Amino acid sequence: MEIKKVAVIGAGLMGHGIAQVAAQVAKFDVVMLSRSPSTLDKAMAMIKDSLQKFHKKGLLTEDQIKETLNRIRVIPLSDLDKAIFDADLIIETIAEDIQSKKNIFSQVDRIAKPEAILATNTSSLSITELASSISRPERFCGMHFFNPPQIMRLVEIIRGARTSDETINTVAEAARRMGKEPVIVKKDCVGFIVNRILMAALNEALHILWEGVAERDDIDKACELGLNWPMGPLKLLDYIGLDTALAILEVLEGELDPKFRPSPLLRQMIRAGFLGKKTGKGFYEWSQIT
């Protein structure tokens, strides 16, 4: 099966980036959906800003920017039936709540053409459980992008208990067309590869800060210089979103091991409304960062 049209459900931090690379790099026709018209407007503004940054670096021409934008349509989620009936690949990118995702997929399953592939960008939830909400579990998989999708090259392709080889191969090829390097997670396990390793490290950085072992800047500097990380764990948490990080850790704790119990500092920050870059403040003041 050849992918020509992609639908992205959700226009937030990940959704708009996935829509951009699908249109810009793979040259797929893309429709991006959200419940909120203002979210769609903001998403398109972010895509335009990202494309201009590539242009300033000499990586895109003005014509290529126009072509990319012409490939993307934005449609309210209330018009789901009009948006996805002919889509070949439908990628869900909404918040990490399993019931909300199941509800979306049960609607999508009734509308999408029989041969369409359904994928979730979940970073931690069970692919097999999400697939239980649809009538085509063999055409369902995880397609986990990393933030920001416009730059990060990795995509985890996760097999559910009933996912077919054809689905895995088709989605992996779609990822390659987007300029990504896919890795196959052959067994459905919460956290997959990266987050099982990463979230343990990020949570430990939170404990170090909470216990007063070291300050924010020294923790981040230590990981950047000592582990060769491109950014420190606390800055990375701000990029991920502290609420998203908490949701992932809670799933890992419940499904795998108590060692993933979230640091008290994480809950305290969230209660204060400091969610990271998306709210302008987390461990860093993002208005002061260019």
> How much is the average pLDDT of 114-129?
94
Active site residue 124: no
Q: What are 70-86's pLDDT values in tens digits?
A: 999 999 999 999 999 99
Which numeric CATH code is attached to 196-281? 1.10.1040.10
Q: Which residues of 216-241 are buried (b: 16+ CB within 10 A; e: fewer)?
A: beebbebbeeeeeeeebbbbbbbbbb
**Boundaries of every domain in the chain:** 5-185, 196-281
Residue 157: enclosing H or E segment and its boundaries? strand 154-159
Which is the catalytic residue, given 50, 123, 133, 203?
123
Instruction: For 216-267, write each residue's pLDDT tens digit.
Output: 999 999 999 999 999 999 999 999 899 989 988 998 999 889 999 999 999 9
Over the stretch 92-118, which tens digit does the pLDDT of each residue have? 999 888 999 999 999 999 999 999 999
**pLDDT over 70 (residue 290):** no
Question: Which residue in the list 92, 156, 203, 263 is annotated as catalytic?
Answer: 156
Query: With 70 as the cut, is the pLDDT of residue 146 above it?
Result: yes
Residue 144 annotated as catalytic: yes
Q: Kindly report, residue by residue over 21-45, the tens digit of the pLDDT.
A: 999 999 999 999 999 899 999 999 9
Q: Is 31 helix (H, G, I), strand (E, B) or coil?
A: strand
Q: Is 129 a catalytic residue?
A: no
User: Which of the listed CATH numbers 3.40.50.720, 3.40.190.10, 3.30.9.10, 3.30.930.10 matches domain 5-185?
Assistant: 3.40.50.720
